[in-house]
Amino acid sequence: MLPSRYNRENLLRVLRDPRRITTEFEELAHRVDRIAAERVHPREEAITAMDEEWDNLLILDGCRFDLFEDHHDLPGELRKVQSPGSQSLEFMRTNFVDRTHHDTVYVTANPFVTHLDDGIFHRVVNLFDDAWDDDLETVPPGAVVEATRDARERYPNKRLLVHFMQPHYPFIGELGRQLESGALAPVEDLESKTGDSIWRRLSRGDAEVSEETVWDAYVENFDLVHEHVADLTESLDGKSVVTADHGNLVGERLWPIPVRRYGHPSGLRVPELIDVPWHELPVDERRTVEPDPPESTADVSSETVEDRLGHLGYV
């Protein structure tokens, strides 16, 4: 039986606007590719980050394994693992929902944490409200480092789960800011930037910049956050691990329908999205941690959350 949307009314819409055929094909291609990818890379093979051994888990949002492998210079051992999600909220739900981690303080720049129930962690430190940079339209890595150091001092017997927004879009380096300012793209393309990330513009074919330029801006974002992560890990005691919640597609053709894809669609288990780094830094002595009842978290308005997600490229 055909889906209910295949009806006379929608057929007339297609006749009035043939571009709808392309949109429908892309949606169908995504469904087919998603089903095929799930069979090749079943979710059961993914790592559960909260069950691993660490005292400080530093998450780089949207960091592909190959990006990390080619550009990091941290000491320690790197291995490739599979994330349970191709998007942040999928990663969070698998690792956090229906569980309690009262021995952990979650310092996060990612607004999706507001989709989780209260009481999962001992404390959640939301940075996407007060630490949001209106010019960069994200939380810069320096603010995450500062908040993490404050949390380490305030909660000496807790694990630290630290979620940086970079290298995730928007790009905040010199090249990346040129890309967003209009220096590398027509100003008219940027009139409604909220929810219209570079990945959407590349998908539509109106980005006016090459994939190579976008990749360079992506690497630049990684280099910026890497510098802060390297500095932070030198001052943290216990066992530190650097990982990512998911990766990012930059024009790869998927299988079996070879449409070019960009960004990180949910539910799409392809290597560029689910292969992430798991880098364990050298450790001399583990931290002693213990659970305590959860502390309350300051509320963030739904309007603020929607605004932040929009600037991060989510509609």
In sequence order, what DSSP letters do the residues of 42-57 get, joined into one string? -GGGS--GGGS--SEE
Question: What are the backbone dihedrals phi and psi of residue 102, each rounded to the nearest 5 degrees, phi first?
Answer: -80, 0
Domain ranges of the chain: 13-311
Contact 279, 242 (CB under 8 A): yes
DSSP code string of 14-40? HHH-THHHHHHHHHHHHHHHHHHHHHH
Confidence class for position 187, pLDDT limits 50, 70, 90: very low
pLDDT-derived band at 131 (thresholds 50, 70, 90) equals: very high
Cis status, amide bond into 156, omega within 30 of 0: no
pLDDT number for residue 313: 87
The answer to whether the CB of 245 falls within 8 A of the CB of 276 is yes
Contact indicator for 91, 243 with CB cutoff of 8 Å: no
pLDDT in tens, 6-49: 555 655 554 565 555 555 556 666 676 676 666 767 777 899 99
- Per-position DSSP letters for 164-204, written without gaps between them: EEEESSSP-SHHHHHHHHTSSS-GGGGTT-TT--HHHHHHH
In which residue are the tokens 């929608």 written? 10
Structure tokens at 212: 């190579």
Task: Please provide residue 70's backbone torsions phi and psi, each rounded to the nearest 5 degrees.
Answer: -80, -20
The predicted pLDDT at position 257 comes to 76
Give the residue-averaged pLDDT of 125-134: 95
Query: Of how many residues is the chain composed?
Result: 315
Rounded to two decimals, the pTM is 0.88
CATH number belonging to domain 13-311: 3.40.720
Q: What is residue 191's predicted lDDT score, i.e. its pLDDT?
A: 42
Could you tell me where the DSSP H helices lie in the chain? 8-16, 19-40, 65-71, 88-96, 141-154, 174-181, 198-204, 211-235, 271-274, 302-311
Buried b (16+ CB within 10 A) or exposed e, 104-114: bbbbbbbbbbb
Kindly report, residue by residue over 203-258, the tens digit of the pLDDT. Answer: 888 888 999 999 999 999 999 999 999 999 999 999 999 999 999 999 998 867 78
What is the β-pairing status of strands 249-253 and 260-263? Answer: antiparallel
> 252-299 pLDDT, tens per residue?
988 677 888 999 988 899 999 999 999 999 999 999 999 999 999 888
